[in-house]
Structure 1
Amino acid sequence: MPILKNVLLALAAAAMAAASAFAAEITDVTGRKVEIELPAKRILLGEARQIHVAAALKGEHVFDTIVGWRDDLIKKDPDSYAGYSERFPAVEKLPRFGYIPSGDFSLEAAIALKPDVLTLNLEAEKAVEEAGFIEKAAAAGIAVVYLDFRVDPAKNSERSIEILGQLFGAETRAKEFIDYRRAQIAIVTDRLANAGAIERPKVFIERSPGITGETACCRTFGPANFGEMVEKAGGHNIGSDVITATFGDLNPEQLVVANPDHVIVTGSNWSAESDLNQFVAVGRGADPTAAREKLRGLMQRPAFASLDAVKAGRLHAVWHQFYGAPYEFVPIQQFAKWFHPDLFADIDPDRTFREFHEKFLPVAYRSGYFVSLSDGGE
C-alpha cells in the first residue's frame, strides 16, 4: 500500500503541474494565431526593451522565465540596463542576441536555449517573413509572437501588454497596467475636452538628433507614436501635415515655414553608438545641466535660428525610449504642461512616473527623463 500511495501522489503532482500550464492560442498583433503552452516556461525577448513591460507584469520575478534577450537595451538605453543589472546582477550573464533584420541574429544559438517563444517587434515582420524565419523556428519548437509598441501604439499597445500578460502568466497584472495607463492619459485628454476650444500650439518633435553624421535636420514623426502624444497633449504636430508614416523627414525650409511654437527633441544615452556625441542624454538618472547644454547646442543649427520657439525659449527634450514602451502617459502629461501650463499647473509627470515605478516596477526610480529651456522648467 505505501508504494501504491506514493505512485498516486506522484501522479497527482504531475497532473497538478500539467494543469498549471495549458495549450492555448494567442492572436498576435498581426492577426496570426499562435499555439503555445501558457504560461510560457522559457521566453526569449526579441527586443530587450520589452523588459519595460515584462517587469511591470512580473516584478521581482521578471527574469525567472527569460532565457535570453536582444542586445538593444545595453546599446540604446544603457541607463535602464544599469538599473536592471544593479537590481538583478545575474542579467549580466543573460545571453544576448542581435537583430533579425540586420542579419546578426543566430537562430542556432537561440535554439540551444530551448525557448518556448520568441517575441518580436512588428517592424521586423518583413525581414522575418522574407527569411522564412517563422517556419525555421517552428521546426525547432519555438513559437514566434509579434508585439508592437512603436508602429501603431494606439492600435497595438494594449493588445501587446495583454499578450505579454498571457506569456508570463500575469493577466491580472496586465489589466491593472492597462487601467493605470488609461487613467493617467485621461487626466489630460478629459481636461482638454472639458476646456472647450483652446489654441493648440504648433509643435515640431525631432527624432534623435545628434547621434551620428552631420547635425542635419529634420527627422520627425507622422500622426502615430510621438506625433500622437503631441496631439493628445493638446498640441498640433506639424509633422502630421506632411508625413503619413510613423517617421519621415521635413526639409529645413518646411520647418522654417511651419514656424513651430515649441520644439521637442528626443534623446537618450547613445554613447555606445554615437560618433558625434551631440545628442541630448535624457533618461534614468540623467544630468539635467549637461542635457540642457546639448539642447542649446542643437538649436544652433541654421534651420532653427529664426523659429519663434527658439526665440521664446520653448525648447524641450524627452526620453527617446518612450516611443517604444507603453509609458506614453508620462510624456503626454509633460507635453500638456509645456503646451498649456496654466491648465495643467497641478500635474506632476515626475511624480506620476515615480508612482508607476513604486506600483509596478522592481527597479528604483531616478528622475531625468525631461529637460526644458522654457520658463516652465522641467
Structure 2
Amino acid sequence: MDSSHGPSFVQMLAESIDSLRLLGRRSVLALLGIAIGSAAIVALLNIGHSAAEEMMRMFKGMGTDILVVNFPAKPGDRPLPATLDTSAVRRNVPALTYVAPISLNGMTVRHAGRTANTTVVGTTSGLRSIIGLRLASGRFLSDFDHKSTFAVIGAQIAHDLEANGQPIKVGDRLQMGNYVFEVIGIAQSLQANSLIPIDVNQSIIIPIEGLRRVHPLPAISGIVAKALPLANLAATADILHRYLAGLFVGREVNVQIPQQLLDGLKRQSDTFSYLLAGLGGISLLVGGVGVMNVMLMNVAERRREIGLRMALGARPRDIRMLFLLEAANLALAGALLGAVFGLAAAYAFTRFSGWTFSLAPLALPLGIGSSLIIALFFGLYPAMAAAQLQPVQALRDA
C-alpha cells in the first residue's frame, strides 16, 4: 500500500479524542493521574525555588559587603593576640571602611540582685557600622573608651536583668567578675545574622582592651570588616587574607565573604529542589501506570474494531498511531491541567507562608515535558500490542 494512503493525522487525532470521550470515567481517572503527577512536580519545584529565593533575599539583606575572618584552631598553634590594630589593617587593605576584632567570652553578669549568663564581646567602635546596630538609648563604644569600664548591652540581656519590674537604664552598673561596668548604651533588638559570629541581643559589648579585667588570657576570636560599596569582595578577601597570614604567622586564616555562603545555599536549594522533583516524579509514575491500564483495557475492548480496520486496509502503524495519539491526548490534557493546579498550589502556599512567589524557570518545562514522556512511554506498549494483532485472530476473539 502506498504511504500516501490511509487516514490523515487530523483524522486520527479526531478519532482518538472521540475514543477517549467514549471511555468516560476511565479517561478522566487516567487524566487525573497524570494531572496529579504534573501538579506535584510544578508545585514542589516552585515551592522549593520560592523558599530558596526567600532565603537568599534574607541573607542579602543582612549585608553583602561584610567579610568575616576566623582562625581555626589546631594543636600546637600559636596563641592569638588580645587586640588588633584596625588602623593598620585599613591602611593595608584600602577597600575596607570598617574593621572590628571580636573576642567572645561566656560570663555571669549581676545587676541589682539579678544574674544572667551571657556572652561578653570585646570589640571596637567599628562593630556598630559593620552590623548596622541601632541603640534604644545611650551611645555605642567610641575610639576613646578603650581604657574605660563601659558596656553596651543587648536587648534580651536588658530584659533578663530587669529588677522588680524596673528596666535597666543608661548609667546602671553591672558586675562582671571583680569589676563593675557602667551601662552607656542599650541596643535595639537586631535580627540574627548568620554571617556575624555573635548574637548581639544575647551579648554585652565592652572595649576589647577591657577584657583583661574579666579574663586572664583574652584573645581575639575573629574579625569582621565592611568593604566599600563597589569593592571587589573576592579580591579584597584575598588581600586581607595575605595581610593577616603575615601578621599571625603560625595560625590558619579563613576569610569568608557572603557570596561564598550564598553559593553554598544555592547548591543546597538546588539539591532540595531536585529531591522535591523526584517526589513529584513518583506521583507521575503512578499516573503513567494508570494510563497504561486504561489503554490496555481500551485495546482489549476494541479488538473487533481493530480487526475490522486492518481487514479494510489499515496498516499496523495506523493502529499504533491511533492509540499513541489517545495516550498523548491524555498526557497533554493532564499535564496542562496539572501545571495550572500546581502553579495555583505553589502560589497559595508561598502567600500563606509570607514569602514572595517566584516562578522556577524549569518547573513548567519539567512538569509538562515529563508528563508527556511518561504517558507516551506507558502508552507505547498498548499501542504496539494493538498494532501486532492479526485481523483474523482479532475478529475471532472479539
Which structure shows the bigger proportion of residues in helix conformation? 2
TM-score band by shorter chain is under 0.3
- Structure with greater Cα Rg: 2
Structure-1-length-normalised TM-score: 0.26
Structure-2-length-normalised TM-score: 0.25
